[in-house]
């Protein structure tokens, strides 16, 4: 991979400007203008950002026309952006575009509205409140496991999307969206397609054209909204009849005594939880199974732990703290292939960062995939070593690893994701040892999440 980075000669070297110079900018490539240069970025943004960091350092500067962009790749500066100076920034353009579908959910809202929504929801995402969902996670993972056959070839990426879709549907809406409510399943699937389209760099341009996608977007959104508002009304009439996240949203109130959320905000949070939650977990699981298939020693250690902790029975909530290596397997996969691979922030006021003056309106990129593979913090960064996580490295800065973001906007569903990932891996790997189909091409497709471009074709082998 390093050779591929060095082969990209189109990023010309630049001489750093002194920080003390008036109006000086950090080092970076020549200004990117025109369709040809833009396509170079769009074609492989992971390679582009990695090379940008390798060549120009911890703060790299580039322009797209009039837009000023800073790639920040220093853990301490990333902490400044996400924590210490978080109020000086808003979300990036991709998530602003996603507001057309997500509305003002936690992923997209800003300021006082975001703080209030999070304050209402936070107690309900505490570990003790989500533990009731563990049985749902194991049950659906068991169903998937039992439906597979030895020697069967499957697309693990598609299988994990289907599995997490069902888990999220059940925990969020208390319904099996495949068997019990296919109408809701179809609306959610259509919305997911739209959600991924919104991540395209040319999404805003395409919206101005009379394309069929605009009609598909509106139809999917209307179907989804009708179904969610209908379920919300059911929860209001009978709040004791369900124990799902939607009921929690309907009945939750602000601890400061300002009441609960409006129907529109509840809808926005429900759609955000579904679309943001289920796809990121699916990608994390997909990359975990891929990396285990390529690293037999890690798979052997995982299998040993499953045998010692579970002894052949299904996992349960109380097993999660004991399944340490199982969690490390996903933790390490999310280091090499972080589902959320880049965060964007827009400066709403001038900010000083690492001695550089960041102007109002500038875009800051904080890339997990760049930081998680930085050899300064991760020796042998592309080596899959779950045992890295056996103990904390006191020399490693906190924001050398931030798969769920950080600061006041850290992902509220992080405890849910770790529990789901650990239980699903344990349930499936007890029975199966997926092997990558020979010749299957593994490539990256970076949209809002980092997914395998060609799926992940694997052959199911019985676990030894």
CATH number at residue 116: 1.10.630.10
| Per-residue pLDDT at 220 exceeds 70 | yes
Q: What is the pLDDT of residue 356?
A: 96
Weakest-pLDDT range from 156-170, 236-250, 402-416, 423-437 = 236-250
Q: Are residues 44 and 122 in the same domain?
A: no
Q: Higher model confidence: residue 238 or residue 371?
A: 371
Query: 21: pLDDT confidence band, cut at 50, 70 and 90?
Result: very low
Task: Render pLDDT for 338-356 as a digit per residue (tens, 0 to 9).
Answer: 999 999 999 999 999 999 9
Q: Higher model confidence: residue 40 or residue 357?
A: 357
Measured CA to CA, the distance from residue 415 to residue 404 in angstroms comes to: 10
Which range marks the domain in which residue 35 is found? 1-12+27-57
Q: Are residues 380 and 267 in the same domain?
A: yes
Q: Higher model confidence: residue 128 or residue 2?
A: 128
Of the candidates 330, 289, 325, 299, the one whose C-alpha atom is nearest the C-alpha of residue 464 is 299
Tally of domains within the chain = 2
Q: What is the pLDDT of residue 371?
A: 98
Measured CA to CA, the distance from residue 440 to residue 228 in angstroms comes to: 39
Asked if 59 and 354 count as a contact pair (C-beta separation under 8 A), the reply is: yes
Q: Are residues 7 and 135 in the same domain?
A: no
Q: What is the pLDDT of residue 116?
A: 87
Query: 331: pLDDT confidence band, cut at 50, 70 and 90?
Result: very high
pLDDT average, residue stretch 10-33? 59
Q: Left if phi > 0, otherwise alpha if psi is -120 to 50, otherwise beta: which for 80?
A: alpha
Q: Are residues 191 and 294 in the same domain?
A: yes
| Per-residue pLDDT at 380 exceeds 70 | yes
Q: What is the pLDDT of residue 388?
A: 97
Of the candidates 109, 70, 62, the one whose C-alpha atom is nearest the C-alpha of residue 358 is 70
Measured CA to CA, the distance from residue 401 to residue 369 in angstroms comes to: 9
Q: What Cα–Cα distance (Å) separates residue 413 from each residue in 140, 156, 181, 278, 424?
A: 19, 23, 24, 10, 16
Q: Are residues 99 and 32 in the same domain?
A: no
Q: Are residues 51 and 100 in the same domain?
A: no
Q: Is residue 18 domain-resident?
A: no
Q: Higher model confidence: residue 221 or residue 152?
A: 152
Q: What is the pLDDT of residue 182?
A: 81
Helices within 89-155 (DSSP H only): 93-102, 111-121, 127-130, 134-147
Mean of the per-residue pLDDT values for the chain? 86
Q: Is residue 263 domain-resident?
A: yes
Q: Is residue 345 domain-resident?
A: yes
Asked if 271 and 98 count as a contact pair (C-beta separation under 8 A), the reply is: no
Q: Is residue 423 domain-resident?
A: yes
Does an H or E element contain 64, and which?
Answer: strand 59-64
Distance between alpha carbon 194 and the CA centroid of its chain, in Å?
Answer: 17
Q: Are residues 44 and 75 in the same domain?
A: no
Dig out the tokens for 379 from the structure. Answer: 């020796």
Measured CA to CA, the distance from residue 62 to residue 28 in angstroms comes to: 6
Q: Is residue 19 domain-resident?
A: no
Q: What three-state secondary structure class fits 446?
A: strand
Angle at CA 414, nearest 5°, toward 292 and 409?
130
The 8-class DSSP code of residue 450 comes to: E
Q: Are residues 149 and 37 in the same domain?
A: no
| Per-residue pLDDT at 211 exceeds 80 | no
**Entry pTM:** 0.89
CB-count burial class (<10 Å; 0-12, 13-18, 19+) for 289: buried
Q: Is residue 416 domain-resident?
A: yes
pLDDT average, residue stretch 168-184? 85
Asked if 30 and 55 count as a contact pair (C-beta separation under 8 A), the reply is: no
Q: Is residue 452 domain-resident?
A: yes
- First vs last Cα of the chain: how many Å apart? 33
Q: What is the pLDDT of residue 298?
A: 98
Query: 16: pLDDT confidence band, cut at 50, 70 and 90?
Result: very low
Weakest-pLDDT range from 96-100, 164-168, 210-214, 228-232 = 210-214
Task: Render pLDDT for 291-306 as a digit per residue (tens, 0 to 9).
Answer: 999 999 999 999 999 9
Q: Are residues 370 and 286 in the same domain?
A: yes
Q: Are residues 70 and 42 in the same domain?
A: no
Q: Is residue 170 domain-resident?
A: yes
Of the candidates 91, 85, 87, 126, the one whose C-alpha atom is nearest the C-alpha of residue 107 is 91
Q: Are residues 5 and 76 in the same domain?
A: no
Q: Are residues 117 and 184 in the same domain?
A: yes
């Amino acid at each position: 991979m390093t050779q591929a980075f060095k082969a990209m000669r189109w990023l010309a070297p630049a001489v750093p400007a002194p920080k003390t110079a008036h109006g000086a900018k950090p080092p970076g490539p020549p200004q990117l203008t025109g369709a040809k240069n833009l396509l170079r970025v769009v074609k492989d943004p992971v390679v582009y950002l990695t090379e940008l960091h390798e060549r120009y350092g911890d703060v790299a500067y580039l322009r797209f026309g009039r837009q000023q962009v800073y790639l920040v790749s220093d853990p301490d500066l990333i902490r400044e952006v996400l924590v210490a100076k978080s109020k000086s920034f808003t979300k990036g353009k991709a998530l602003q575009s996603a507001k057309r579908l997500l509305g003002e959910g936690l992923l997209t809202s800003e300021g006082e509205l975001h703080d209030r929504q999070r304050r209402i929801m936070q107690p309900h995402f505490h570990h003790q409140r989500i533990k009731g969902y563990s049985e749902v996670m194991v049950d659906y993972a068991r169903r998937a496991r039992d439906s597979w056959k030895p020697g069967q070839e499957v697309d693990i990426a598609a299988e994990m999307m289907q599995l997490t879709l069902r888990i999220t549907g059940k925990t969020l809406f208390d319904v099996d969206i495949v068997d019990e409510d296919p109408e809701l399943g179809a609306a959610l699937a259509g919305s997911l397609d739209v959600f991924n389209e919104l991540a395209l760099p040319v999404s805003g341009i395409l919206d101005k054209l009379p394309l069929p996608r605009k009609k598909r977007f509106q139809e999917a959104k209307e179907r989804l909204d009708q179904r969610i508002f209908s379920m919300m009304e059911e929860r209001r009439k009978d709040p004791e009849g369900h124990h799902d996240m939607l009921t929690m949203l309907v009945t939750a109130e602000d601890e400061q005594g300002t009441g609960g959320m409006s129907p529109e905000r509840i809808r926005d949070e429900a759609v955000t939880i579904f679309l943001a939650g289920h796809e990121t977990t699916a990608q994390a699981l997909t990359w975990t199974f891929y990396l285990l298939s390529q690293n037999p020693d890690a798979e052997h250690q995982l299998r040993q732990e499953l045998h010692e902790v579970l002894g052949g029975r299904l996992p349960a909530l109380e097993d999660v703290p004991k399944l340490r290596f199982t969690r490390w397997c996903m933790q390490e996969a999310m280091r090499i292939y972080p589902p959320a691979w880049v965060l964007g922030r827009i400066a709403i006021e001038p900010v000083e960062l690492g001695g550089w003056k960041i102007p109002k309106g500038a875009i800051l990129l904080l890339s997990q995939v760049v930081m998680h593979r930085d050899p300064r913090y991760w020796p042998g960064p592309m080596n899959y070593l779950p045992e890295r996580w056996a103990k904390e490295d006191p020399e490693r800065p906190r924001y050398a690893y931030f798969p769920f973001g950080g600061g006041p906007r850290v992902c509220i569903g992080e405890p849910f994701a770790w529990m789901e990932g650990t239980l699903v891996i344990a349930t499936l790997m007890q029975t199966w040892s997926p092997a990558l189909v020979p010749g299957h091409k593994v490539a990256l497709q970076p949209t809002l999440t980092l997914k395998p471009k060609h799926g992940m074709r694997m052959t199911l082998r019985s676990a030894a």
